[in-house]
């Protein structure tokens, strides 16, 4: 990892380099995905199955996973794994139940009634990667808030394993979370099927869940045809730390995100050069016994850094500028800084709130804005799966009182039909 002193120039150059990585668009991928989307739109399931055969090597044993296969996966699973998922489910549900939003009605003395209805979407598509990148935790993080929001049906798509069977761990998570239907399909073709609907895969109102660059590009291109959770980039972690931090902890937490992808970014900003040097040394020691050592090394070499700042305030300033997906505060009295940390997907406070706690277990969602978009995007939550409709009731008397103002504004805008719609009620 490179070591950078925050002098206003060097750290700015590094962050600009990081920003260019996030903004890169692969034109070839876009062209390929566009062609797949159009094919699925025109040819439905036959196109989806052809791409499955092309990209996965063979067709799965079944297109839609039978309910008994899903139930059997849960019954036959390792009891300790099931117990761990159930404990995580309890924490995730408890957190997200607190996000539920109520509608309201506001009756006024003049007979006017205003209000808002809040209800869950009808059908949501959940994309779950397969193979070596299969994450049961993502099933929990996407499906649980959807269920709490009142989504009527969750349709999951996931690519088959090389032998054509579904990933059993994914099915276990789906069974626990109450996923309604599971289809064996992955890639951009599965996203297109969820967006447009096919003979067998139902059309969805929103698509959520992580995927590779083809999946992410498909979601981006289809936004507007269907809603999506977010356009996610590579994983990120920023650790801000002072001399009270343990370099073993800091190093381990940085590598926990670097192992995701060679494009992942792991950065530490610290007020202690001693901690910076010790953390780098710990990374070099710990990585030797980690299974994804090569990915970690490339990620840290290309997109990692330890930045040395002269104060806690400078650490906070840089954190808000970077707006990371995950932000750890390994500092004395970390709660004191919470009110100043405005731009982060999820904040982990103190020496024992390690980021993987959020990935799997604590309760807050792990689907988070990346690439600096935490400046304006929020984590996935119950509100992500709801829609709001406002309503208005006016009496004749209430409209008569407001009509002159409405007509004046409408005529100022040159919209005489708008004005007329009010006037005709009083002629």
**Contact at 8 Å (CB) between 343 and 323?**
yes
Mark 103-126 as b/e (b = at least 16 C-beta within 10 Å). Answer: eeeeeeeeebeeeeebebbebbbb
Name the catalytic one among 260, 282, 297, 326.
326
260 catalytic residue (yes or no): no
351 catalytic residue (yes or no): no
**Contact at 8 Å (CB) between 111 and 395?**
yes
Residue 252's H or E segment, with its range, is helix 247-258
Least Cα distance to 242 among 210, 278, 203, 270 occurs for 270
Length of the chain: 427
d(CA 261, CA 134): 14
Name the catalytic one among 325, 328, 355, 366.
325
d(CA 300, CA 391): 52
Q: What share of the chain is helix, strand, coil (3-state, %, to 5)?
A: 50, 15, 30
Catalytic residues: 325-326
């Amino acid at each position: 990892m490179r070591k950078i002193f925050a002098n206003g120039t060097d750290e700015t150059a590094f962050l600009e380099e990081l920003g260019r990585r996030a903004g890169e668009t692969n034109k070839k991928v876009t062209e390929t995905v566009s062609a797949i989307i159009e094919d699925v739109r025109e040819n439905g399931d036959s196109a989806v199955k052809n791409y499955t055969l092309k990209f996965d090597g063979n067709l799965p044993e079944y297109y839609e996973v039978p309910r008994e296969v899903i139930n059997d996966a849960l019954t036959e699973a390792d009891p300790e794994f099931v117990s761990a998922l159930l404990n995580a489910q309890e924490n995730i549900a408890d957190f997200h139940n607190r996000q539920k939003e109520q509608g309201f009605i506001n009756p006024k003395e003049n007979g006017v009634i205003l209000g808002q209805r809040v209800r869950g979407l009808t059908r949501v598509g959940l994309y779950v990667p397969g193979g070596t990148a299969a994450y049961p935790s993502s099933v929990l993080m996407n499906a649980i808030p959807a269920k709490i929001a009142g989504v009527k049906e969750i349709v999951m798509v996931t690519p088959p394993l090389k032998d054509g069977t579904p990933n059993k761990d994914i099915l276990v998570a789906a069974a626990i979370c109450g996923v309604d239907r599971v289809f064996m399909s992955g890639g951009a073709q599965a996203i297109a099927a969820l967006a447009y609907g096919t003979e067998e895969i139902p059309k969805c109102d929103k698509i959520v869940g992580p995927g590779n660059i083809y999946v992410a590009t498909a979601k981006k291109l289809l936004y507007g045809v269907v809603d999506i959770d977010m356009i996610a980039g590579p994983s990120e972690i920023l650790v801000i730390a002072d001399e009270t931090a343990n370099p073993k902890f800091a190093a381990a937490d940085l590598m926990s995100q670097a192992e995701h992808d060679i494009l992942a970014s792991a950065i530490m900003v610290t007020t202690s050069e001693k901690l910076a040097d010790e953390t780098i040394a710990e990374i070099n020691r710990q990585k030797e016994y980690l299974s994804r050592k090569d990915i970690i090394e490339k990620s840290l070499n290309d997109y990692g850094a330890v930045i040395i700042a002269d104060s806690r305030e400078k650490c906070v300033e840089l954190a808000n500028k970077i707006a990371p997906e995950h932000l750890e505060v390994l500092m004395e009295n970390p709660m004191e800084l919470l009110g100043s940390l405005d731009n982060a997907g999820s904040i982990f406070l103190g020496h024992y709130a390690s980021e993987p706690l959020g990935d799997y277990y604590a309760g807050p969602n792990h689907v988070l804005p990346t690439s600096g978009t935490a400046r304006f995007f929020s984590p996935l939550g119950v509100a992500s799966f709801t829609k709001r409709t406002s309503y208005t009731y006016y009496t004749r008397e209430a409209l008569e009182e407001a009509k002159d103002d409405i007509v004046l504004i409408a005529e100022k805008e040159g919209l005489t039909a708008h004005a007329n719609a009010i006037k005709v009620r009083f002629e």
